[in-house]
Structure 1
Amino acid sequence: MNIDVTELLNNHYFVKALHSIALAVIVYLLAKLAISIATKGGKASSEAHFAIKYSALCFFGISLIFIWLEGIGPVLTALTIVAAALTIVAKELILNFLGSFVIFWRELFAIGDRVQLGDFTGDVIDKGLFYFTLLEVGQKESTGHSTGRLVKVPNAMAVTNPVVNATRGAGYLWNEVRFAITRQSDWEKARATLFKIVDMYYRGESIDLNRVKHIFEKRNIFFRKLTPRAYMSISTGGLCITLRYLCRARMTRESQDFIITNFLLEMKTIGVELADEQP
């Protein structure tokens, strides 16, 4: 069976099909080239990878419409019909797709950020057109450690729910540790010892409060003081000391462990005893 090449080339739909295939190959190769160049950028490569995929898909879809439909009138008509049909049969997919657009252009979070949406908390490890992936962390405030589980979250959740980003502010947050001591304890020495321990922690972790304050102010977040504070209150078991201090967003548990461990070691030398009931 002989195939007439001239006849095929004169076929309107065959030519459009060739154009579509050529377009797909070109867009794919350009996207791969752009991604390979972006990976040399190191830390920002993951974000660039998402942006390139997003842009390539949008460009390919719009170009297909103009290849198969000539003139702006048919294009608008086709888009209206397709939009109406998709709204009826794939509402959630559309919301997730639009959600990816909002996440990217409004910079709600980037890969590597620690975020909380509803009941989900974790580190963002991937972003897609319909879902983003979290490496889940423990739900309790005192943990902050990874559970090892991956959570696929629909992009629409980032539009319909508040997004708590613990990384984008300055990478630091306020944490509190509470101790209940007996009424006979020297609470003034206890406070002074806690301040000394926090200062030791800051030196060990190279935390410069002046630099942190500057980072906060660059993001229009203003605190009068960033130095640690200790608040006193009366509790059932005696006196309660609430230590409030800054720590890195992913280091809350480690900082608490450092402070509590060193305070326990210092208690006997400063005349402080823990109450039987702890907050």
Structure 2
Amino acid sequence: MSIAGWFAILFGDFFETGDRFLLGGIKGDVVDIGVLRTTLMEIGEWVNGDQYTGRIVRVANSYIFSSPVYNYTANFKFLWDEIMIPLRFESDMKLAKTILLEIVEKHTGQYNKEAVIAWGNMKRRYKLENASLDSQVFLSFKDNWVEINLRYAVDYRERRIVKENFFSEILQRFKQEGARLEIATETLEVFSSSSTKMK
């Protein structure tokens, strides 16, 4: 089965050396494709942000017949990622959206042209809808705050550093605005009446 899997990998366009993929519950970058096993440099597990753990993992090629193959890099090396920020209801949501879109343009604007070309190639190869590669901001109400979600396209290799840059600049910009933009936290209100004794 592993030898058959090897032939399928070579001629079935599943992945190639250098690709990042998830197979059989193991996620990593392909460093070698052997007759019986594919060798990965593992990412994830106890390390956040799709970074290397340092472990080399060998996955039997037969897994491609029994598990889905999630390829991060085939034909399109970008991922859509999101960050969520909880804001108090009193915050200026229009200002928040403007600031977030400015920040995302600053840190991911260089990807736009390349991502559009890559997505066009994907559309020519597969039957896909015309997904938006523009950064977007969405609002939703929660019990104690407004949840603001920022969606953006990013190079799969730079996902963690871009997210760290976003959060650093968001904290700085929101702090400059003072009471106009306040990040929300979980709150608890306790009510008591004159007949109630509280310990």
1:33-182 correspondence runs (5 A) = 95-139=1-45, 143-182=49-88
Q: Report 1 or 2 for greater relative contact order, CA contacts < 8 Å, sequence distance ≥ 6.
A: 2
Q: Which residue number corresponds to residue 276 of structure 1?
A: 185
Q: Distance in 2 between matches of 1:219 and 1:188?
A: 39
| Secondary structure in structure 1 of the residue aligned to 2:94 | helix
SS of the aligned residue for 1:263 comes to: helix
Q: Which structure 2 residues correspond to residues 147-226 of structure 1 after superposition, within 5 A?
A: 147-203=53-109, 205-208=110-113, 209-220=115-126, 221-226=128-133
Structure 2: runs of 5 or more not aligned: 187-199
SS in 2 for 1:251: helix
Give the aligned partner of residue 243 of structure 1. 150
Paired residues of 2:5 and 2:64 also in contact (CA < 8 A):
yes
Q: Give the Cα–Cα distance (whole angstroms) in 1 for the partners of residues 26 and 111 of structure 2.
A: 31
Q: Deviations over 1:135-186 (max 9, x none)?
A: 0001379510010100010000012110000000410011010000111111
What is the aligned residue count? 182
Q: Deviations over 1:168-207 (max 9, x none)?
A: 041001101000011111111111111111110124x454
- State, as a whole percentage, how many aligned pairs show the same letter: 28
Question: d(CA) in 2 for partners of 1:141 and 1:229?
Answer: 28
Residues 1:252 and 2:185 aligned together: no
Runs of 4+ in 1 over 3 A off after TM superposition: 139-142
Q: Which residue of 2 aligns with 1:44?
A: none
TM-score, normalised relative to structure 2: 0.85
TM-score normalised to structure 1 length: 0.61
Structure with the larger strand share: 2
| Contact 1:142/1:252 (<8 A) preserved | no
Aligned to 1:11: none
SS at match of 2:157: coil
Deviation at 1:243, TM superposition (A): 0.8
Distance 2:184 2:17 in 1: 44
